[in-house]
Amino acid sequence: MMKNAGTSKESILAASRKLVAEKGLAAVNMRSVGKACDLALGSIYYYFPSKDDLLLATIASVWDDIFSWEGPDFVPSSDHADFSFPAYIAQFFDHLAEGIARYPHFFTIHSLSFSERGQEKGSSTMRQYLASIEGRMVLALERDKGVSPRAFSGDFTEEAFIDMVLTTMIALLVQRKDNPSALVEMVRRSLYFPE
C-alpha cells in the first residue's frame, strides 16, 4: 500500500489519540495505527522510526490535547485588573478534567509505562511539557494584583508554589476527584491575607 496523499504526521497522531481515547495507550502500536489510518507499516515508519517514537509522540500529543487551554483567563493580559488566580485554578482544573475524560486511565497507564520501561526520553518529554505549563501558570500568578507581597519568600517561591499546585491538581484528577474546592481554598489562603 502506498502512502496516502493526505497522510501527515498529525493525521497519524490524530488516529493514535483516538486509539488512546477508545482503548488506552496499550492499544497504540504500528499495526493498529496503520490500520486506523489505512496505511502500510512503511508509511508509519516513515514518520516514526520505532514504536517508542510513536508512543512518545502520541503521549506528547495527548498531553497537549489535555493541557492546552486557550480560555479567556489562561494567560490574562496585564491590564486584567480583576483577575483571580484561585478562580483561574478552578477553571483550569475543570478544563483538565474534561480533557482527562476524553482519555480514560491515561495518567495511570502513562506513568506506569515510563516507570516500567525506564524511558528517560519519555520522562524528559513529560518534564519539559510540565515545565512549560508551570511557566504559563507563573505568568498567570504574576498577573493577579491581589496577591500579598508577603505571600512568597526565599524558601517559598512562586515556582515552588506553582509546582505544588500543579502536582496536587494532577493527583486529584488521577484519584478521580472532581471537586477542586479544597485546592482552590488552599491557593486563596496562601496568596491573600491581611497585611
> Three-class SS string for 20-41?
HHHHCHHHCCHHHHHHHHCCCH
CA distance 158 to 147: 11
* CA neighbor of 106 nearest in space, from 167, 176, 165: 176
* CA neighbor of 180 nearest in space, from 67, 104, 88, 76: 88
Q: Are 62 and 52 in contact (CB under 8 A)?
A: no
What band does 77 get if pLDDT is binned at 50, 70 and 90?
low
Q: Are 87 and 73 in contact (CB under 8 A)?
A: yes
At residue 79, the pLDDT reads 57
Average pLDDT score over the chain: 83
* CA neighbor of 161 nearest in space, from 171, 152, 170, 173: 152
Lowest mean pLDDT among 10-24, 32-46, 74-88: 74-88
- Location of C-alpha cell 515552588: 160
Rounded (10°) CA dihedral 151, 152, 158, 162 = -50
3-state secondary structure of 65: helix
- Location of C-alpha cell 505568568: 139
Helices (H), the chain: 9-23, 30-37, 41-47, 51-67, 85-102, 106-117, 120-142, 158-174, 181-191
User: Is the pLDDT reported for residue 109 higher than 60?
Assistant: no
What band does 173 get if pLDDT is binned at 50, 70 and 90?
confident
Q: What is the pTM of this model?
A: 0.76
What band does 31 get if pLDDT is binned at 50, 70 and 90?
very high
Cβ neighbours of 192 (radius 10 Å): 15
